[in-house]
Every structure is written in C-alpha cells, then in structure tokens.
Amino acid sequence: MATSVAPKVFKNFIDGEWVESRGNTAFENRNPANTDECIGMFPSSTEEDVNSAVEAAAEAYKSWRLVPAPKRAEILYRAAEILVRRKEDLARDMTREMGKILAETRGDVQEAIDMTYFMAGEGRRLFGKTTPSELPNKFAMCVRMPKGVAGLITPWNFPMAIPSWKTMPALVTGNTVVIKPATDTPLSVYHMIQILTEAGLPRGVMNMVTGSGTSVGAPLMKHPQVALVSFTGSTGVGIQVSEACAPALRPCHLELGGKNIILVMDDANLDLAIDGCLWGGFGTSGQRCTASSRVAVHKKVYSEFVQKFTARVKTLKVGDGLDPATQMGPCVNQSQLETVMRYVEIGKNEGAHLAAGGNRLTDGAFAKGYFHEPTVFVDCNPKMRICQEEIFGPVVSVMPCEGLEDAVEIANGVKYGLSSSIYTRNVNHAFYAMRDLYTGIVYINAPTIGAETHLPFGGTKQTGNGHRESGDAALDFYSEWKTIYVDYSDKLQRAQID
Ligand code: UN1
C-alpha cells in the first residue's frame, strides 16, 4: 500500500547541529521488503558539506583529545545504556530500512551495545607498556595517542553494528569522527548519533554527512585534515580507497569481501552441519562478508548432505523481516538483487546443478520487494566463478571433496580470507584445520558467521589490508604508539654506546 504521508526529511549532523546540505537535493531511503514505503529523505551532500564536517571535527579534536579517556568512556557507557533501552525500536527501524529479519536486527543493535560497552571499558585500560631502559637512571614507556579526525565509511549490511565497530574505538582513543553511512541505511547511523549526543558527546566530536561514495566518500578520504580512513565494503571500492589515501600516506583500514567456506567431514554431526550451513548461508539473505557461501563436503557423506540440505533450504520462509514467521528477508536493493540473478545464470552456464531456488520472487506480497529464493548449486567445481567470487546474496555453492587435505586446499583456493569453518568430531582434524586454514577467523563446529565484539575481526589476502577491527586490536588502528624515554641521570647517556 502506498504511503500518503510525506516522508520524514533528515539532515546532516555537523558541529552539534542538524543542518541542511548545501546540495539542496535528497535521496530516498526505501524499505526493500515494500518499496512503497519511503522511510525518509536524506541529504545528497557535497564536498562543501564534507569540508564543514571535517573542519568541525578538527576543531573539536583540540579539546576532545585532552578529555581523560575514562571520562570519554563514561559517555560511551551512557550511550550503551540508551541503546539497551531503545533496542527494540532501533531493530524495527533497521528491518524497515535494510530488510533483514527482526531477530537479526536485534542482534545488530546488540552487537553495537556490546562494542560500546567494550570500548567504554577500554577507556580505563588503554594500556601502554613500561620497560627497563638499558641505561641507568632512565625510564622507558610507550603510550597510545589519538590520530585526529577519523573518516568512517560504513556499509548497509550491519547498519549499526559496523558503524559502532569504527566509531567507539575512534572516540575512546580520543579521535573525532566524520561518518558517511551507506545510502541504503542512513537511519540507523542517525539513531546512533542521536544516542551519542544524548549521552553527552560534545559538539563537533561526531559528525555525519550522507550521500554517495563519489560526492561524499571520495572527498572525505582525500581531505588533508582527515588523519585516518576506515572503510567496509567491496574489494573493488576498497582498492579505490587505498589509492585515494596513498598519495598522502594516510592510514586506511579496509574490511572487504569474503568467499567463506564450511568444510563438512565424514566424521561430522551432519544435522548440526546442515543447521550451520542454513544459518551461515542464508542468514541476512547471504549479505554478510562472513556468509557461508561455499560448502565442501566429504565424498562419503556428500549425497546424504545434499539431499538433506536442499530439502531444508526449500522450507525456508521468505518474507517481510517484520513478520515473526519470516526466516529470510529480501535483498537490500535492486542492484543487489540483479547481482544475485546474474550469478544464478553464471552458475547454470558453468554447469553447476541448481538444486534449490534460483528465481526472483514476484507474486503477491513479494511484488513490491527485492525478494529472491534461497538458492543452492551442487556438484560445483572449486574453480567455477560461483565458487570464487563474492555474490553477497542467498546463493550457496556445494562441492564434493576427497578428504581433509583436499578440503583445506579448496578452502584456501580463493582470493579472499575472512572466515572458514570445519565440522568434524575428530580433534586431530580440527587442529589441522585451525593451523592451515588461511583466514582471519576460523570456526570449529559452527558456521562462518557470528564474530563477537571483543576479538579481532578481519581477514587475510584481498579481504583487507592487514588491519583488524573489533576487540583491543582495533585500538592499534585508531591510535599511534608514542615511545617515551625519560633520562633522570642529569648527564648525556648514549644508547648502544655507553
Ligand atoms: C559483516 O558481514 O560485514 O560475524 C560483519 C558476523 C557478524 C559481523 C559480520 N558478527 O557475521
């Protein structure tokens, strides 16, 4: 049903005020389960807006960096409390703007809560090191110092969790922030900013500019006063971010694609593995960089797995994420849906066997959304494009393997290295896999999704550029080590010589 009420009009947040964009144009944020519903109009901002936001952040940095970290953390702690109180409403709004089911958007808000509490705790740690000097009457230590203005560019698949992964460590270490949320999901970042403001964050410390990658993201990552950039998105765009930052040697943290795998051994609990493949493959409609988009199954249990897994996939209930019965929501937008449909054609042409799904859903309630059937290709060859390229949708490619060694080789035979998993009840196999799977995250007897906020998150190879976010590992990106020597001998002492 078309909405007759005018959509809400949102603004940028610069220097503690909600302000219009100089661009005077706006983009729509629509519900991917029902495109008749316009959630709001957000500014299509310009380079001038970015400049104002960066200037405000640079000015606020002068005082924010001097606020004691435990005091900065108290604001985060209060923000976490508000997030807890508003969790349900935030989750509902997130489902409306992004499409994933309520259980998952609650999880997304919970992940932001976890990260905010975790980083609030870090405010009373931020440990450095002290160590003996090689010289007498000399003291040596290192401390963390903030870097300045952080430019954050965030994706739509975790509309609040990922912005919080970047914002909270940036703030607690004393940086100020300019954030550009994904154009599909600016509402969740708007909520996060409101909450941080309510919690007492001083003006200018957190700024938001909405708009496209070209108009907002590009000037943000190139701005001379931006000290660091953190980006989560596709590997293609990540390379552009890296190139934009390179001439100024601006540090950038990139969190990019994945082609994650579940290995199912002949000694696995098969039903448990199937539960994992369903959740890892079709949770968030497969739109996670950690999604279990590949499954390699030991030849001895292959046909049993295929038969049981595809039967279960066919029972998954697709629909509006606000309906409690729904198990899988829509794709986030038209272009994502088209990518999925394109890869289904690619898979068929490559000779993979389509065992479940394969079609866009258009009947009845599906007509107004970007719905696609949960889709399974079986008898795939590891070299096929559907086994090599990130699809970011509800498509799982299943292939047989000879045994453990072959499985690990298949797992590592892609350009990405985010997450991997093995189902086995043999402890020797589990440890072999833990050692040899070349990914940033490895799961034993659990799917490739479900990272927790107090551990490092990130991957090898083209999944990123070596940095990690989440956990105390994130502090290493958002702060610089400063090594300090204090000589109290009252004479010249020469290291390595005296
Ligand atoms: C992502 O897909 O970009 O581990 C992040 C997980 C979530 C985070 C995913 N906690 O699946």
Ligand 1 pocket member 168 (CB < 6 A): no
Ligand 1 pocket member 202 (CB < 6 A): no
Is 376's pLDDT higher than 80?
Answer: yes
| pLDDT over 90, % of the chain | 98
> In the predicted model, what is the mean pLDDT of residues 153-162?
98
Is 1's pLDDT higher than 70?
Answer: no
Ligand 1 pocket member 290 (CB < 6 A): yes
pLDDT at 4: 55
Is 5's pLDDT higher than 90?
Answer: no
Mutation test of ligand 1: which of 111, 158, 418 has the most ligand atoms closer than 8 Å to its C-beta?
158
Host H or E run for residue 110: helix 102-122
Contact 177, 73 (CB under 8 A): no
pLDDT at 106: 98
Q: Name every residue whose Cβ is closer than 8 Å to that of residue 55 and which is 6 or more positions away in sequence.
A: 225
Q: Is 245 a catalytic residue?
A: no
> In the predicted model, what is the mean pLDDT of residues 312-340?
98
Report the distance separating Cα 176 and Cα 226, nearest Å. 10
Ligand 1 pocket member 450 (CB < 6 A): yes
Q: Is 37 a catalytic residue?
A: no
Q: What does the mean pLDDT of the chain come to?
A: 97
Mutation test of ligand 1: which of 104, 166, 287, 290 has the most ligand atoms closer than 8 Å to its C-beta?
290
Binned at pLDDT 50, 70 and 90, residue 7 comes out as: confident
Atom of ligand 1 nearest to the CA of 287: 2
pLDDT at 6: 76
Domains parsed from the chain with CATH numbers? 12-256+464-482 (3.40.605.10), 261-444 (3.40.309.10)
The closest alpha carbon to 217, from 253, 190, 179, 184, belongs to 179
- Summarize pLDDT for 424-480 with one digit per residue, the tens: 999 999 999 999 999 999 999 999 999 999 999 999 999 999 999 999 999 999 999
**pTM score of the predicted model:** 0.97
Output helix, strand, coil percentages for the chain, rounded to the nearest 5: 40, 25, 40
Give the helix ranges, DSSP H, for 123-223.
Answer: 161-172, 186-198, 218-222
pLDDT at 8: 94
Binned at pLDDT 50, 70 and 90, residue 54 comes out as: very high
- Compute the distance from residue 451 Cα to the ligand 1 centre, in Å: 6
pLDDT at 24: 86
- Summarize pLDDT for 198-222 with one digit per residue, the tens: 999 999 999 999 999 999 999 999 9
Mutation test of ligand 1: which of 235, 289, 293, 421 has the most ligand atoms closer than 8 Å to its C-beta?
289
